[in-house]
Structure 1
Amino acid sequence: MRLSKLFRYITSAAIISSASAVTASFAATPDFRNPADSSAAFLRLRCSLDPHDQKYSAWTATVYAQVPGQKLKPLLGFEGYNVCRVVKEADGSYKLLTREVSYYRDLKTGKIIEQWDNPYTGKTDDVMHVHNDPVNSAMPAHGSGKYALPWVVMGDEVMLLVDVPLEYPNELSPAKFPEESSGDHYIASEHFGFFAKLADMKNPKLQSVPYVNSWFRTGPWLPWMKMGQRPGGLVYSGEGRKLDSFAELPAEVQAYTRKHFPKFIDAPTEFVSPNETTWSVYRDMKNAQATGTPANPPATTKP
Protein backbone atom coordinates (compact mmCIF):
# COMPACT_ATOMS: atom_id res chain seq x y z
CA MET A 1 0.00 0.00 0.00
CA ARG A 2 1.88 3.02 -1.27
CA LEU A 3 0.99 5.47 1.49
CA SER A 4 3.89 7.80 0.79
CA LYS A 5 2.34 8.58 -2.61
CA LEU A 6 -0.91 9.47 -0.86
CA PHE A 7 0.77 12.08 1.34
CA ARG A 8 2.58 13.76 -1.54
CA TYR A 9 -0.60 13.78 -3.58
CA ILE A 10 -2.91 15.26 -0.96
CA THR A 11 -0.55 18.19 -0.47
CA SER A 12 -0.16 18.79 -4.21
CA ALA A 13 -1.85 21.35 -6.42
CA ALA A 14 -4.45 18.74 -7.33
CA ILE A 15 -6.48 19.58 -4.23
CA ILE A 16 -5.09 22.95 -3.14
CA SER A 17 -7.90 25.03 -1.69
CA SER A 18 -8.75 28.39 -3.23
CA ALA A 19 -10.77 29.33 -0.17
CA SER A 20 -9.59 32.15 2.08
CA ALA A 21 -7.19 31.09 4.82
CA VAL A 22 -8.48 30.25 8.28
CA THR A 23 -5.80 31.01 10.83
CA ALA A 24 -7.15 29.61 14.10
CA SER A 25 -5.06 26.84 15.66
CA PHE A 26 -6.15 23.21 15.52
CA ALA A 27 -6.59 22.99 19.28
CA ALA A 28 -8.96 25.96 19.22
CA THR A 29 -10.73 24.85 16.04
CA PRO A 30 -12.45 21.49 16.34
CA ASP A 31 -13.50 21.68 12.69
CA PHE A 32 -10.97 19.29 11.14
CA ARG A 33 -11.97 20.62 7.70
CA ASN A 34 -10.10 23.88 8.32
CA PRO A 35 -7.62 24.04 5.38
CA ALA A 36 -4.98 25.64 7.60
CA ASP A 37 -4.91 22.52 9.77
CA SER A 38 -5.04 19.80 7.14
CA SER A 39 -1.69 18.26 8.10
CA ALA A 40 -2.59 17.83 11.76
CA ALA A 41 -6.10 16.61 10.96
CA PHE A 42 -4.84 14.01 8.52
CA LEU A 43 -1.99 12.82 10.74
CA ARG A 44 -4.34 12.32 13.68
CA LEU A 45 -6.33 10.02 11.43
CA ARG A 46 -3.46 8.28 9.68
CA CYS A 47 -1.12 7.95 12.67
CA SER A 48 -0.80 9.93 15.94
CA LEU A 49 0.39 13.41 16.83
CA ASP A 50 2.14 11.96 19.89
CA PRO A 51 5.81 11.52 18.85
CA HIS A 52 6.24 8.75 21.44
CA ASP A 53 3.36 6.73 20.01
CA GLN A 54 3.57 4.44 16.99
CA LYS A 55 0.59 3.07 15.11
CA TYR A 56 0.08 0.22 12.67
CA SER A 57 -1.95 0.56 9.48
CA ALA A 58 -2.84 -3.06 8.78
CA TRP A 59 -4.41 -4.40 5.60
CA THR A 60 -5.52 -7.55 3.87
CA ALA A 61 -6.26 -7.78 0.16
CA THR A 62 -6.72 -10.03 -2.84
CA VAL A 63 -4.49 -9.59 -5.89
CA TYR A 64 -6.22 -10.15 -9.25
CA ALA A 65 -4.83 -10.51 -12.75
CA GLN A 66 -6.35 -8.14 -15.28
CA VAL A 67 -5.85 -9.45 -18.80
CA PRO A 68 -7.49 -7.67 -21.76
CA GLY A 69 -10.64 -9.46 -22.88
CA GLN A 70 -10.85 -11.60 -19.73
CA LYS A 71 -12.58 -11.24 -16.37
CA LEU A 72 -10.42 -10.60 -13.32
CA LYS A 73 -8.64 -13.72 -12.05
CA PRO A 74 -7.76 -13.98 -8.32
CA LEU A 75 -4.07 -14.85 -7.93
CA LEU A 76 -2.82 -14.18 -4.43
CA GLY A 77 -3.68 -13.02 -0.96
CA PHE A 78 -1.80 -9.98 0.33
CA GLU A 79 -1.47 -9.01 3.99
CA GLY A 80 0.76 -6.59 5.82
CA TYR A 81 1.10 -3.30 7.60
CA ASN A 82 2.79 0.08 7.71
CA VAL A 83 4.22 1.19 11.08
CA CYS A 84 4.39 4.94 11.65
CA ARG A 85 5.31 7.73 14.01
CA VAL A 86 4.96 11.50 13.60
CA VAL A 87 7.61 14.06 14.53
CA LYS A 88 6.78 17.76 14.69
CA GLU A 89 9.64 20.01 13.64
CA ALA A 90 10.62 23.35 15.18
CA ASP A 91 9.00 25.24 12.30
CA GLY A 92 5.66 23.51 12.91
CA SER A 93 5.92 21.13 9.94
CA TYR A 94 5.61 17.38 10.34
CA LYS A 95 7.63 14.34 9.37
CA LEU A 96 5.79 11.05 9.02
CA LEU A 97 8.30 8.25 9.57
CA THR A 98 7.22 4.82 8.36
CA ARG A 99 8.30 1.48 6.97
CA GLU A 100 6.12 -1.32 5.65
CA VAL A 101 5.97 -5.03 4.96
CA SER A 102 3.35 -7.08 3.15
CA TYR A 103 3.28 -10.80 2.48
CA TYR A 104 1.79 -12.83 -0.35
CA ARG A 105 -0.47 -15.72 0.64
CA ASP A 106 -1.76 -18.80 -1.14
CA LEU A 107 -5.47 -18.27 -1.72
CA LYS A 108 -6.36 -21.90 -0.96
CA THR A 109 -4.27 -22.53 2.15
CA GLY A 110 -3.97 -18.95 3.40
CA LYS A 111 -0.28 -19.55 4.13
CA ILE A 112 2.51 -17.09 3.41
CA ILE A 113 4.38 -18.46 0.39
CA GLU A 114 7.98 -18.41 -0.83
CA GLN A 115 7.27 -19.66 -4.36
CA TRP A 116 4.37 -19.21 -6.75
CA ASP A 117 3.28 -21.24 -9.75
CA ASN A 118 2.65 -18.64 -12.44
CA PRO A 119 -0.46 -19.65 -14.46
CA TYR A 120 0.55 -17.43 -17.38
CA THR A 121 4.18 -18.46 -17.89
CA GLY A 122 3.98 -22.00 -16.55
CA LYS A 123 7.06 -21.32 -14.41
CA THR A 124 7.58 -21.31 -10.66
CA ASP A 125 8.63 -17.89 -9.39
CA ASP A 126 10.50 -16.99 -6.22
CA VAL A 127 8.27 -14.58 -4.30
CA MET A 128 9.71 -11.28 -3.11
CA HIS A 129 7.58 -9.98 -0.27
CA VAL A 130 7.19 -6.23 0.19
CA HIS A 131 9.74 -4.78 2.61
CA ASN A 132 10.10 -1.06 1.98
CA ASP A 133 12.21 1.11 4.27
CA PRO A 134 11.90 4.02 4.42
CA VAL A 135 8.44 5.16 3.34
CA ASN A 136 8.62 8.68 4.73
CA SER A 137 6.68 11.87 4.07
CA ALA A 138 6.96 15.55 4.94
CA MET A 139 3.85 17.66 5.56
CA PRO A 140 3.61 21.45 5.91
CA ALA A 141 3.14 23.41 9.09
CA HIS A 142 -0.13 24.88 10.35
CA GLY A 143 -1.29 27.68 8.11
CA SER A 144 1.21 27.02 5.31
CA GLY A 145 -0.03 25.58 2.04
CA LYS A 146 -3.64 25.69 3.24
CA TYR A 147 -4.60 22.66 1.18
CA ALA A 148 -8.12 21.34 1.61
CA LEU A 149 -8.72 17.64 1.99
CA PRO A 150 -11.85 16.12 0.43
CA TRP A 151 -13.60 15.21 3.68
CA VAL A 152 -17.15 13.89 3.36
CA VAL A 153 -19.46 13.95 6.40
CA MET A 154 -22.44 11.60 6.36
CA GLY A 155 -24.42 11.60 9.59
CA ASP A 156 -22.06 10.68 12.42
CA GLU A 157 -19.40 9.29 10.05
CA VAL A 158 -16.50 10.95 8.23
CA MET A 159 -14.99 9.73 4.98
CA LEU A 160 -11.76 10.78 3.29
CA LEU A 161 -11.58 9.45 -0.27
CA VAL A 162 -8.43 10.06 -2.31
CA ASP A 163 -7.50 8.78 -5.77
CA VAL A 164 -3.79 8.85 -6.65
CA PRO A 165 -2.79 8.41 -10.33
CA LEU A 166 0.89 7.49 -10.72
CA GLU A 167 3.30 7.81 -13.63
CA TYR A 168 7.08 8.16 -13.48
CA PRO A 169 10.24 6.62 -14.98
CA ASN A 170 10.46 2.91 -14.23
CA GLU A 171 13.17 1.85 -11.75
CA LEU A 172 13.55 -1.25 -13.93
CA SER A 173 14.40 -0.30 -17.49
CA PRO A 174 13.22 -2.78 -20.16
CA ALA A 175 16.68 -2.73 -21.71
CA LYS A 176 18.38 -3.96 -18.54
CA PHE A 177 15.47 -5.92 -17.06
CA PRO A 178 13.49 -7.31 -20.02
CA GLU A 179 11.73 -10.01 -17.98
CA GLU A 180 10.89 -7.78 -15.03
CA SER A 181 10.10 -4.40 -16.60
CA SER A 182 6.64 -3.31 -17.70
CA GLY A 183 8.11 -0.53 -19.83
CA ASP A 184 10.02 2.74 -19.64
CA HIS A 185 7.39 4.27 -17.37
CA TYR A 186 5.76 2.94 -14.23
CA ILE A 187 2.00 3.53 -14.49
CA ALA A 188 -0.38 2.66 -11.66
CA SER A 189 -3.05 4.12 -9.39
CA GLU A 190 -3.93 3.94 -5.70
CA HIS A 191 -7.41 4.57 -4.28
CA PHE A 192 -7.87 5.14 -0.55
CA GLY A 193 -10.97 5.42 1.59
CA PHE A 194 -10.61 6.29 5.29
CA PHE A 195 -13.67 6.08 7.56
CA ALA A 196 -13.89 7.48 11.11
CA LYS A 197 -16.38 8.73 13.66
CA LEU A 198 -17.31 12.40 13.34
CA ALA A 199 -17.17 12.82 17.12
CA ASP A 200 -13.58 11.56 17.17
CA MET A 201 -12.45 13.86 14.37
CA LYS A 202 -14.06 16.86 16.09
CA ASN A 203 -12.46 16.05 19.45
CA PRO A 204 -9.21 18.09 19.71
CA LYS A 205 -8.14 16.08 22.77
CA LEU A 206 -7.57 12.96 20.67
CA GLN A 207 -4.00 12.69 19.44
CA SER A 208 -4.96 9.65 17.37
CA VAL A 209 -8.32 8.89 15.73
CA PRO A 210 -9.37 5.28 15.02
CA TYR A 211 -10.25 4.42 11.44
CA VAL A 212 -11.09 1.60 9.08
CA ASN A 213 -10.20 1.88 5.42
CA SER A 214 -10.67 0.52 1.95
CA TRP A 215 -7.84 0.25 -0.57
CA PHE A 216 -7.84 -0.39 -4.30
CA ARG A 217 -4.83 -0.43 -6.60
CA THR A 218 -4.08 -0.95 -10.27
CA GLY A 219 -0.55 -1.61 -11.44
CA PRO A 220 1.81 -3.61 -13.64
CA TRP A 221 2.86 -7.22 -13.16
CA LEU A 222 5.27 -7.54 -10.25
CA PRO A 223 8.96 -7.78 -11.20
CA TRP A 224 9.41 -11.19 -9.59
CA MET A 225 6.57 -12.57 -11.75
CA LYS A 226 8.83 -12.02 -14.80
CA MET A 227 5.96 -11.12 -17.10
CA GLY A 228 7.78 -8.29 -18.88
CA GLN A 229 5.51 -6.19 -21.08
CA ARG A 230 2.84 -8.86 -21.44
CA PRO A 231 -0.56 -7.12 -21.86
CA GLY A 232 -2.47 -6.70 -18.62
CA GLY A 233 -1.50 -6.13 -15.02
CA LEU A 234 -2.70 -6.43 -11.44
CA VAL A 235 -5.65 -5.16 -9.45
CA TYR A 236 -5.58 -5.14 -5.64
CA SER A 237 -8.77 -4.95 -3.59
CA GLY A 238 -8.53 -4.76 0.17
CA GLU A 239 -9.44 -3.26 3.50
CA GLY A 240 -7.71 -2.38 6.73
CA ARG A 241 -7.70 -0.52 10.02
CA LYS A 242 -5.46 1.27 12.47
CA LEU A 243 -3.95 -0.81 15.27
CA ASP A 244 -2.28 0.37 18.47
CA SER A 245 0.32 -2.38 18.76
CA PHE A 246 2.30 -5.04 16.91
CA ALA A 247 0.62 -7.65 19.09
CA GLU A 248 -2.73 -6.93 17.42
CA LEU A 249 -1.48 -8.15 14.03
CA PRO A 250 -2.27 -11.72 12.87
CA ALA A 251 -0.02 -14.28 14.57
CA GLU A 252 1.54 -15.49 11.30
CA VAL A 253 2.36 -11.93 10.24
CA GLN A 254 4.02 -11.32 13.61
CA ALA A 255 6.05 -14.54 13.42
CA TYR A 256 7.16 -14.01 9.81
CA THR A 257 8.20 -10.43 10.56
CA ARG A 258 10.15 -11.40 13.67
CA LYS A 259 12.03 -14.06 11.69
CA HIS A 260 12.70 -12.24 8.42
CA PHE A 261 12.23 -8.47 8.95
CA PRO A 262 12.61 -7.72 12.69
CA LYS A 263 13.38 -4.02 12.25
CA PHE A 264 9.90 -3.58 10.76
CA ILE A 265 8.36 -4.20 14.17
CA ASP A 266 8.97 -0.54 15.01
CA ALA A 267 8.72 2.73 13.11
CA PRO A 268 11.86 4.67 12.10
CA THR A 269 13.17 7.34 14.45
CA GLU A 270 14.60 9.78 11.89
CA PHE A 271 13.72 11.09 8.45
CA VAL A 272 15.86 9.74 5.59
CA SER A 273 15.38 9.53 1.83
CA PRO A 274 14.75 8.42 -0.84
CA ASN A 275 11.82 6.13 -0.21
CA GLU A 276 11.90 2.52 -1.28
CA THR A 277 9.41 0.64 -3.45
CA THR A 278 9.15 -2.98 -4.56
CA TRP A 279 10.73 -1.90 -7.85
CA SER A 280 13.73 -0.16 -6.28
CA VAL A 281 14.28 -3.00 -3.79
CA TYR A 282 14.17 -5.55 -6.62
CA ARG A 283 16.58 -3.47 -8.73
CA ASP A 284 19.07 -3.21 -5.86
CA MET A 285 18.78 -6.93 -5.13
CA LYS A 286 19.45 -7.92 -8.75
CA ASN A 287 22.34 -5.46 -9.09
CA ALA A 288 23.89 -6.85 -5.91
CA GLN A 289 23.54 -10.41 -7.20
CA ALA A 290 25.14 -9.46 -10.50
CA THR A 291 28.16 -7.82 -8.85
CA GLY A 292 28.47 -10.23 -5.93
CA THR A 293 28.21 -7.37 -3.44
CA PRO A 294 25.73 -6.88 -0.60
CA ALA A 295 22.56 -5.02 -1.45
CA ASN A 296 22.53 -1.36 -0.53
CA PRO A 297 21.30 -0.62 3.01
CA PRO A 298 18.18 1.52 3.49
CA ALA A 299 18.54 5.17 2.50
CA THR A 300 20.51 7.34 4.87
CA THR A 301 20.32 10.76 3.21
CA LYS A 302 18.98 13.36 5.61
CA PRO A 303 17.06 16.40 4.35
Structure 2
Amino acid sequence: PEQGGYQLLQKECGFFTDLATGKVLERWVNPYLNEAVEPFHIANPAVNRWILPQVKEERFYDRADGSVPASRPFVLPWRRAGDRLMLEQRTHFWAVNPLDPQLWRRESSGARIQVSDCMSYNARWSELSDPKRDSVEYDGHWVHVRPWQPWMLMGDRPGHCLYSAITGSALSARSVPAEIYELVRERLPDFLVPPTEVRKSEPSMIRFMRERKPAS
Protein backbone atom coordinates (compact mmCIF):
# COMPACT_ATOMS: atom_id res chain seq x y z
CA PRO A 1 0.00 0.00 0.00
CA GLU A 2 2.84 2.45 0.73
CA GLN A 3 3.86 2.11 -2.94
CA GLY A 4 0.33 2.72 -4.15
CA GLY A 5 -0.30 -0.87 -5.16
CA TYR A 6 -0.34 -4.49 -4.05
CA GLN A 7 1.98 -7.48 -3.90
CA LEU A 8 0.57 -10.71 -5.27
CA LEU A 9 1.90 -13.81 -3.46
CA GLN A 10 1.30 -17.12 -5.17
CA LYS A 11 2.36 -20.75 -5.25
CA GLU A 12 1.90 -23.02 -8.24
CA CYS A 13 1.90 -26.76 -8.69
CA GLY A 14 0.93 -29.03 -11.52
CA PHE A 15 1.32 -32.59 -12.72
CA PHE A 16 2.18 -34.08 -16.09
CA THR A 17 -0.40 -36.68 -17.06
CA ASP A 18 -0.88 -39.39 -19.64
CA LEU A 19 -2.78 -37.91 -22.59
CA ALA A 20 -4.83 -41.08 -23.05
CA THR A 21 -5.71 -41.99 -19.45
CA GLY A 22 -5.32 -38.70 -17.59
CA LYS A 23 -3.25 -40.46 -14.92
CA VAL A 24 -0.31 -38.63 -13.37
CA LEU A 25 2.98 -39.81 -14.88
CA GLU A 26 5.62 -41.32 -12.61
CA ARG A 27 7.65 -42.64 -15.56
CA TRP A 28 7.35 -41.73 -19.21
CA VAL A 29 8.81 -43.46 -22.26
CA ASN A 30 10.05 -40.73 -24.57
CA PRO A 31 8.93 -41.95 -28.02
CA TYR A 32 11.66 -39.97 -29.78
CA LEU A 33 14.39 -41.68 -27.76
CA ASN A 34 12.63 -44.91 -26.76
CA GLU A 35 13.96 -44.20 -23.27
CA ALA A 36 12.14 -44.13 -19.92
CA VAL A 37 12.51 -40.82 -18.07
CA GLU A 38 11.23 -39.45 -14.76
CA PRO A 39 8.88 -36.45 -15.07
CA PHE A 40 9.69 -33.41 -12.94
CA HIS A 41 6.33 -32.11 -11.80
CA ILE A 42 5.65 -28.43 -11.14
CA ALA A 43 5.98 -27.30 -7.52
CA ASN A 44 7.08 -23.68 -7.38
CA PRO A 45 6.78 -22.27 -3.83
CA ALA A 46 6.88 -18.61 -4.89
CA VAL A 47 5.54 -16.96 -8.04
CA ASN A 48 5.11 -13.36 -6.95
CA ARG A 49 4.67 -9.98 -8.57
CA TRP A 50 3.94 -6.36 -7.77
CA ILE A 51 0.75 -4.72 -9.00
CA LEU A 52 1.57 -1.01 -9.16
CA PRO A 53 0.49 2.02 -11.21
CA GLN A 54 3.79 1.65 -13.09
CA VAL A 55 5.07 -1.89 -13.63
CA LYS A 56 7.98 -3.61 -15.32
CA GLU A 57 7.66 -6.69 -17.42
CA GLU A 58 8.02 -9.69 -15.09
CA ARG A 59 10.93 -11.95 -15.95
CA PHE A 60 12.10 -15.19 -14.38
CA TYR A 61 15.19 -15.22 -16.60
CA ASP A 62 17.74 -12.68 -17.82
CA ARG A 63 17.08 -11.25 -21.27
CA ALA A 64 19.35 -12.63 -23.98
CA ASP A 65 20.51 -9.13 -24.94
CA GLY A 66 21.12 -8.08 -21.33
CA SER A 67 18.57 -5.27 -21.48
CA VAL A 68 16.27 -4.25 -18.62
CA PRO A 69 12.54 -3.91 -19.43
CA ALA A 70 11.16 -0.39 -19.26
CA SER A 71 8.33 0.49 -16.90
CA ARG A 72 4.85 1.09 -18.30
CA PRO A 73 1.42 2.02 -16.95
CA PHE A 74 -0.49 -0.94 -15.49
CA VAL A 75 -3.58 -0.83 -17.71
CA LEU A 76 -5.25 -4.12 -18.60
CA PRO A 77 -7.01 -4.39 -22.00
CA TRP A 78 -10.42 -5.45 -20.69
CA ARG A 79 -13.31 -5.77 -23.14
CA ARG A 80 -16.97 -5.73 -22.15
CA ALA A 81 -19.96 -7.32 -23.88
CA GLY A 82 -23.08 -6.89 -21.78
CA ASP A 83 -22.36 -8.57 -18.46
CA ARG A 84 -19.32 -10.38 -19.82
CA LEU A 85 -15.84 -9.01 -19.16
CA MET A 86 -12.96 -10.45 -21.16
CA LEU A 87 -9.19 -10.07 -20.98
CA GLU A 88 -6.30 -11.41 -23.07
CA GLN A 89 -2.66 -11.21 -22.01
CA ARG A 90 0.34 -12.29 -24.08
CA THR A 91 3.96 -12.57 -23.05
CA HIS A 92 6.89 -13.55 -25.29
CA PHE A 93 10.54 -13.62 -24.34
CA TRP A 94 13.98 -14.67 -25.55
CA ALA A 95 16.24 -15.23 -22.58
CA VAL A 96 19.39 -16.83 -21.22
CA ASN A 97 18.85 -20.51 -20.46
CA PRO A 98 19.81 -21.20 -16.82
CA LEU A 99 20.67 -24.77 -17.85
CA ASP A 100 24.19 -24.44 -19.27
CA PRO A 101 24.31 -26.80 -22.29
CA GLN A 102 27.97 -27.55 -21.56
CA LEU A 103 26.98 -29.03 -18.20
CA TRP A 104 23.40 -30.15 -18.83
CA ARG A 105 24.10 -31.73 -22.21
CA ARG A 106 20.94 -33.86 -22.35
CA GLU A 107 18.65 -31.52 -20.42
CA SER A 108 19.41 -28.10 -21.96
CA SER A 109 17.83 -27.02 -25.24
CA GLY A 110 20.67 -24.55 -25.83
CA ALA A 111 22.15 -21.30 -24.58
CA ARG A 112 18.88 -19.39 -25.12
CA ILE A 113 15.22 -20.15 -24.50
CA GLN A 114 12.17 -18.80 -26.30
CA VAL A 115 8.88 -18.90 -24.39
CA SER A 116 5.37 -17.62 -25.10
CA ASP A 117 2.37 -17.42 -22.77
CA CYS A 118 -1.14 -16.49 -23.94
CA MET A 119 -3.89 -16.25 -21.33
CA SER A 120 -7.56 -15.32 -21.50
CA TYR A 121 -10.01 -14.55 -18.69
CA ASN A 122 -13.81 -14.33 -18.70
CA ALA A 123 -15.79 -12.95 -15.76
CA ARG A 124 -19.04 -11.12 -15.01
CA TRP A 125 -19.10 -7.34 -14.90
CA SER A 126 -21.86 -7.42 -12.27
CA GLU A 127 -19.58 -9.39 -9.93
CA LEU A 128 -16.36 -7.48 -10.58
CA SER A 129 -18.07 -4.13 -10.05
CA ASP A 130 -19.67 -5.20 -6.75
CA PRO A 131 -17.66 -3.54 -3.92
CA LYS A 132 -19.03 -6.05 -1.41
CA ARG A 133 -17.22 -8.94 -3.09
CA ASP A 134 -13.67 -9.97 -2.23
CA SER A 135 -13.49 -12.61 -4.98
CA VAL A 136 -15.19 -13.53 -8.24
CA GLU A 137 -15.36 -16.65 -10.36
CA TYR A 138 -13.84 -16.76 -13.82
CA ASP A 139 -12.96 -19.18 -16.60
CA GLY A 140 -10.35 -18.91 -19.29
CA HIS A 141 -7.64 -20.56 -21.34
CA TRP A 142 -3.85 -20.82 -21.21
CA VAL A 143 -1.49 -21.57 -24.10
CA HIS A 144 2.21 -22.03 -23.36
CA VAL A 145 4.99 -22.67 -25.89
CA ARG A 146 8.46 -23.51 -24.60
CA PRO A 147 11.51 -25.69 -25.35
CA TRP A 148 11.48 -29.37 -24.43
CA GLN A 149 11.16 -29.96 -20.71
CA PRO A 150 14.66 -30.75 -19.38
CA TRP A 151 13.49 -34.05 -17.89
CA MET A 152 12.58 -35.26 -21.39
CA LEU A 153 16.34 -35.42 -22.16
CA MET A 154 15.84 -34.07 -25.68
CA GLY A 155 18.86 -31.76 -25.56
CA ASP A 156 19.01 -29.35 -28.50
CA ARG A 157 16.95 -31.50 -30.87
CA PRO A 158 14.48 -29.47 -32.97
CA GLY A 159 11.00 -29.10 -31.50
CA HIS A 160 9.14 -27.66 -28.54
CA CYS A 161 6.34 -28.26 -26.03
CA LEU A 162 2.84 -26.86 -26.54
CA TYR A 163 0.50 -26.61 -23.56
CA SER A 164 -3.21 -25.87 -24.03
CA ALA A 165 -5.29 -25.78 -20.86
CA ILE A 166 -8.76 -24.69 -19.77
CA THR A 167 -8.44 -22.54 -16.65
CA GLY A 168 -10.79 -21.25 -14.00
CA SER A 169 -11.28 -20.21 -10.42
CA ALA A 170 -11.65 -22.62 -7.52
CA LEU A 171 -13.15 -20.90 -4.50
CA SER A 172 -13.15 -24.10 -2.45
CA ALA A 173 -11.46 -27.51 -2.40
CA ARG A 174 -14.63 -29.02 -3.87
CA SER A 175 -13.95 -27.10 -7.08
CA VAL A 176 -10.63 -28.91 -7.64
CA PRO A 177 -10.59 -32.39 -9.25
CA ALA A 178 -10.59 -34.87 -6.37
CA GLU A 179 -7.59 -36.88 -7.59
CA ILE A 180 -5.47 -33.74 -7.95
CA TYR A 181 -6.51 -32.41 -4.56
CA GLU A 182 -5.58 -35.71 -2.89
CA LEU A 183 -2.24 -35.80 -4.70
CA VAL A 184 -1.39 -32.28 -3.53
CA ARG A 185 -2.48 -33.09 0.01
CA GLU A 186 -0.24 -36.16 0.00
CA ARG A 187 2.87 -34.76 -1.72
CA LEU A 188 2.69 -30.98 -1.33
CA PRO A 189 0.57 -30.14 1.73
CA ASP A 190 2.21 -26.70 2.03
CA PHE A 191 0.60 -25.77 -1.28
CA LEU A 192 -2.84 -25.95 0.33
CA VAL A 193 -1.89 -23.08 2.65
CA PRO A 194 -1.82 -19.51 1.24
CA PRO A 195 1.61 -17.82 1.28
CA THR A 196 2.13 -15.13 3.91
CA GLU A 197 5.84 -14.35 3.50
CA VAL A 198 7.53 -12.64 0.60
CA ARG A 199 9.98 -15.04 -1.06
CA LYS A 200 12.04 -14.76 -4.20
CA SER A 201 10.16 -16.14 -7.18
CA GLU A 202 11.63 -19.34 -8.56
CA PRO A 203 10.81 -21.03 -11.88
CA SER A 204 10.79 -24.77 -12.40
CA MET A 205 14.15 -24.89 -14.19
CA ILE A 206 15.95 -23.37 -11.20
CA ARG A 207 14.38 -25.98 -8.92
CA PHE A 208 15.32 -28.66 -11.48
CA MET A 209 18.97 -27.60 -11.28
CA ARG A 210 18.87 -27.83 -7.49
CA GLU A 211 17.11 -31.21 -7.23
CA ARG A 212 18.44 -33.12 -10.24
CA LYS A 213 21.87 -33.99 -11.59
CA PRO A 214 22.97 -34.03 -15.25
CA ALA A 215 22.02 -37.31 -16.92
CA SER A 216 24.78 -39.49 -18.26
Compute the TM-score of the two structures, normalised by the length of structure 2.
Answer: 0.86
Candidates 134, 139, 147, aligned match of 1:207: 134
Asked if 1 retains the 8 angstrom alpha-carbon contact of 2:83 and 2:124, the reply is yes
Q: Please give the secondary structure, in 2, of the residue aligned with 1:193.
A: strand
Asked if structure 2 preserves the Cα contact closer than 8 Å seen for 1:131 and 1:278, the reply is: yes
Q: Give SS of 2:16's match.
A: strand
Residue segments in structure 2 that go unaligned for 5+ positions in a row:
55-71
Aligned residues with identical type, % of pairs: 33
Distance 2:111 2:153 in 1: 16
Partner of 1:105, secondary structure, is coil
Asked if residue 92 in structure 1 is aligned to residue 4 in structure 2, the reply is yes
Contact 2:106 2:153 in 1 (8 A): yes
Q: How many residues align?
A: 199
5 Å matches for 1:1-303?
89-140=1-52, 146-273=73-200, 275-286=201-212
In the other structure, the counterpart of 1:37 is none
More displaced 10-residue stretch of structure 1: 157-166 or 202-211: 202-211
Report the Cα offset of residue 252 of structure 1: 1.0
Amino acid at match of 2:140: N
Deviation at 1:205, TM superposition (A): 2.5
Distance 1:91 1:237 in 2: 36
CA RMSD of aligned residues (A): 2.0
Deviating more after overlay: 226-235 vs 243-252? 243-252
Whole-Å separation in 2 of the counterparts to 1:149 and 1:256: 35
How many Å apart are 1:93 and its aligned residue?
Answer: 2.1
- Runs (4+) of structure 1 exceeding 6 A deviation are none
The alpha carbon displacement at 1:201 in A equals 2.2
Cα deviations by residue, 1:47-99 (Å, 9 ceiling, x for unpaired): xxxxxxxxxxxxxxxxxxxxxxxxxxxxxxxxxxxxxxxxxx34432111111
Q: Distance in 1 between matches of 2:76 and 2:19?
A: 36
Q: For the Cα contact (< 8 Å) 1:94–1:141, is it kept in 2?
A: no
Distance in 1 (CA, whole Å) between partners of 2:74 and 2:176 is 34
Residue 141 of structure 1, CA deviation: 5.5
Q: What residue identity is the alignment partner of 1:286?
A: R
The CA distance in 2 between the partners of 1:109 and 1:192, in whole Å, is: 26
Distance 1:148 1:90, change over 3 A: closer
Between the aligned partners of 2:47 and 2:75, the Cα distance in structure 1 is 23
Residue ranges of structure 1 left out of the alignment (5+ in a row) = 1-88, 291-303
Distance 2:27 2:84 in 1: 42
**Corresponding residue for residue 22 of structure 1:** none
Structure 1 position 146, deviation (Å): 4.3
Deviations 1:102-147 (A, max 9, x none): 01111222211100011111100111110011111111169xx643
Question: Residue 236 of structure 1: SS of its match in structure 2?
Answer: strand
1:180 and 1:165 map into 2 onto residues whose CA distance is 22
**Amino acid in the other structure paired with 1:261:** L
Task: Tell me the amino acid that sits aligned with residue 193 of structure 2.
Answer: D
Shift of 1:155: 2.5
Whole-Å separation in 1 of the counterparts to 2:153 and 2:117? 22
Instruction: Report how far residue 244 of structure 1 moved.
Output: 1.1
**Whole-Å separation in 2 of the counterparts to 1:107 and 1:231:** 22
- Return 181-190 or 242-251, whichever deviates more: 242-251
